[in-house]
Amino acid sequence: MVIVACLFVALICVLAATGELPVAAAVLHVAASLTAFLLYRIDKAAAVSGARRTPESTLLAVGLFGGWPGALVAQQVLRHKSRKTSFQILFWITVVSDCAAMAWLWSVT
């Protein structure tokens, strides 16, 4: 799954570099992915220490707005939020939604 996330970001970057997508789409996906990974890391540490957690809605929102590749990597590397079925269903809905949005943007650019 880490490979899928990396390939998606690479594809978005290549499409932006060739003018097929706005550069902002690539910048957004890279920045949101880094943010998502960081948020998952912070939430994992909070879960372990019993500190205040990052709301799932925040994790999902960052994923929806282009951060799902970073979130997917974090789920695999950190073993965080990868087994909770209700979260995973919503997470994959955000992945499909973002991919659909990028496909639409590509079709109109």
The b/e string for 78-105 (b: 16+ C-beta within 10 A; e otherwise) is eebbbeeeeeeebbeebbeebeeebeee
Q: Are 35 and 62 in contact (CB under 8 A)?
A: yes
Mean pLDDT for the chain overall: 97
| Domain ranges for the chain | 2-108
| Continuous segment of H or E residues that includes residue 82 | none
Q: Write out the chain's pLDDT in tens, 109 residues.
A: 899 999 999 999 999 999 999 999 999 999 999 999 999 999 999 999 999 999 999 999 999 999 999 999 999 999 999 999 999 999 999 999 999 999 999 999 8
Confidence at residue 109, expressed as pLDDT on a 0 to 100 scale: 85
Determine the Cα–Cα distance for residues 103 and 59; give it in Å rounded to an integer: 23
Place of tokens 């998606």: 8
Confidence at residue 39, expressed as pLDDT on a 0 to 100 scale: 98
Determine the Cα–Cα distance for residues 90 and 109; give it in Å rounded to an integer: 28
